[in-house]
Amino acid sequence: MERKVVTTNRKAFHDYNIFEKYVAGIVLTGTEIKSIRKNAINLKDSFCKIEDNEIFLYKCHISPYEQGNRYNHEAERIRKLLLTKKEILKLQSKVKKENYTIVPLEVFLQGSLAKIEIGLAKGKKLHDKRTDLAKKDQKREMERAAKKY
């Protein structure tokens, strides 16, 4: 099925090392899915938490739908994510034992459904960020040099 990316959390790739990725469904209301189809979603400061063997998405901002009137949703409400029990238990054990965090990476539309890609991540230190930037600059310079010839 075709996958149309709606938004990406660039800050997550800058601040974290991503080790594993999972695709989860999102429990949404009618006006939320309409707003997502209009690209009115922001993952900048959002994060995921596991509570009572269920996983939830916090601080994900989905703008209210313009024609939603009184049926509109709250912009930053807590949203449940849909993963299998086995995946949730695996994530939970890694978070507790190895101090990983669960970070949303991107939201995409697959058919008529909105899905979210979450990653098991560890925070980068300042020196890690600097080395990543240096590598990126070297790669860019190599591409420029190769383009000239």
Q: What is the reported pLDDT for 67?
A: 78
For residue range 84-117, what is the model confidence (pLDDT) as tens digits?
Answer: 999 999 999 999 999 899 999 999 999 889 999 9
User: Is residue 143 helix, strand or coil?
Assistant: helix
Nearest to 62 by CA among 44, 49, 81: 44
pTM over 0.85: no
Fold (topology level) of 3-124? Small Protein B; Chain: A; (2.40.280)
Cβ–Cβ < 8 Å for 124, 16: yes
Task: Name, in order, each residue with C-beta under 8 angstroms of 107's C-beta and a sequence gap of 6 or more.
Answer: 5, 6, 7, 26, 36, 41, 43, 114, 115, 116, 117
Q: What residues does each domain of the chain span? A: 3-124
Residue type, 13: F
Q: What is the CA radius of gyration of the chain?
A: 18
pLDDT number for residue 56: 96
Q: Residues in the chain with pLDDT < 70?
A: 1
CB 116 within 8 A of CB 5: no
The predicted pLDDT at position 24 comes to 96
| CA 128 to each of CA 47, 70, 99: distance values in angstroms, whole numbers, following the listed order | 21, 47, 18
